[in-house]
């Protein structure tokens, strides 16, 4: 960022008012650069920045102005009331995915077993394990780097999750007991979709966003293999694109699932679809 050193000697209150981002992002980056809490930022509002602090802050503003997501800049994102470390190896957890967490927990019996497929940062698995310590949670991902992040998030949040490197079901041991719930947030953006080159998605791992096909190929794989890993009466729940609900319901019904339905996210969009194994 040009003229970053112009913040040198300015008070924190002045920086908050004059920095180039919106008030929330200014505050987040200022707290991150100076390692201050929000309360400390208020109580130290008349503190003046040194030249080194101004340069460090300016570098963060420059990254954000180039479009890099705040979550990657600060290395963290809140999800389901918990703090998660995020890196460019994993998708940034989004509030809409909390719907999948809620639906999965509603259908997970006491002492039940849940499988989170394509866990990424571990957000879904860790959130459920934290809320439902009675349950046994397993999580899969094809990325070793993502699993490293997920394991760290489980440790930070004090939960036990059985993480496994696996391309969908392939890494599950043959003797694995059946699961009561399978939850998945797979890549579902159609190859070539303009959104992949816009906003935060430009910086997120492309293989976690798109199946490089019609957006449904990974969903098909998950549905096709679910019957071998779900107990009778168990649920398969999947997040998908804004316009894919009808197609996913048809895939579920055509594979023998009952009680097939879709649920709407905070924006009123059908975001999660699922069914019960008969």
The domain ranges of the chain are 4-66, 91-277
- Specify the pLDDT at position 158: 98
Report the distance separating Cα 113 and Cα 67, nearest Å. Answer: 40
Between strands 179-184 and 162-165, the pairing is: unpaired
Task: Map tokens 């719907």 to a residue.
Answer: 99
State the maximum Cα–Cα separation within the chain, in Å, rounded to a whole number: 68
Binding residue per annotation — 253? Answer: no
- Specify the pLDDT at position 1: 45
- Specify the pLDDT at position 4: 52
- Specify the pLDDT at position 82: 98
Other CB atoms within a 10 A radius of the CB of residue 60 amount to 23
pTM above 0.85, yes or no: yes
Binding residue per annotation — 67? Answer: no
Report the distance separating Cα 202 and Cα 249, nearest Å. Answer: 30
Binding residue per annotation — 197? Answer: no
Class of domain 91-277: alpha beta
> 51 is written with which tokens?
């030249």
- Specify the pLDDT at position 5: 58
Binding residue per annotation — 88? Answer: no
**Is residue 89 within 8 Å of residue 71, measured between CB atoms?**
no
Binding residue per annotation — 121? Answer: yes
Report the distance separating Cα 100 and Cα 24, nearest Å. Answer: 27
**Is residue 186 within 8 Å of residue 119, measured between CB atoms?**
no
Binding residue per annotation — 215? Answer: no
Binding residue per annotation — 83? Answer: no
> 137 is written with which tokens?
């949670």
- Specify the pLDDT at position 200: 87
Number of H helices, E strands in the chain: 11, 9
| 116 phi/psi in degrees, rounded to 5 | -105, 115
Q: Which residues pair with 138 in a beta bridge?
A: 115, 162
Binding residue per annotation — 211? Answer: no
Residues in the chain: 278
* HSE-CB for 189 with a 13 A CA cutoff: 16
* HSE-CB for 218 with a 13 A CA cutoff: 26
Binding residue per annotation — 120? Answer: yes
Binding residue per annotation — 235? Answer: no
Binding residue per annotation — 188? Answer: yes
The parts of the chain modelled with pLDDT lower than 50 are: 1-3
- Specify the pLDDT at position 6: 77
């Amino acid at each position: 960022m040009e003229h970053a050193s112009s913040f040198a000697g300015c008070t924190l209150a002045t920086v908050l008012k004059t920095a180039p981002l919106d008030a929330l992002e200014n505050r987040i980056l200022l707290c991150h650069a100076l390692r201050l809490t929000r309360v400390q930022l208020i109580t130290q509002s008349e503190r003046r920045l040194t030249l080194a602090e101004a340069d460090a802050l300016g570098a963060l503003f420059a990254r954000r102005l180039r479009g890099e997501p705040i979550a990657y800049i600060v290395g963290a994102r809140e999800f389901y009331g918990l703090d998660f470390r995020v890196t460019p190896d994993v998708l940034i957890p989004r509030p809409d995915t909390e719907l999948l967490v809620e639906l999965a927990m509603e259908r997970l019996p006491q002492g039940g077993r849940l499988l989170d497929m394509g866990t990424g940062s571990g957000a879904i698995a860790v959130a459920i394990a934290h809320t439902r310590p009675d349950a046994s949670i397993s999580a899969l991902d094809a990325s070793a780097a993502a699993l490293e992040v997920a394991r760290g998030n489980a440790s930070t949040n004090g939960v036990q999750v059985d993480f496994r490197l696996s391309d969908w079901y392939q890494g599950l041991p043959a003797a694995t007991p059946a699961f009561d719930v399978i939850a998945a947030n797979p890549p579902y953006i159609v190859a070539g979709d303009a959104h992949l080159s816009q906003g935060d998605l430009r910086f997120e791992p492309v293989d976690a966003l798109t199946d490089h096909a019609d957006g449904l190929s990974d969903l098909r794989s998950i549905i096709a293999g679910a019957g071998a890993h779900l107990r009778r009466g168990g649920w398969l729940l999947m997040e998908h694109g804004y316009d894919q609900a009808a197609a996913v319901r048809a895939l579920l019904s055509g594979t023998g699932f009952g009680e097939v339905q879709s649920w709407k996210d905070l924006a009123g969009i059908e975001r999660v679809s699922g069914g019960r194994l008969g």
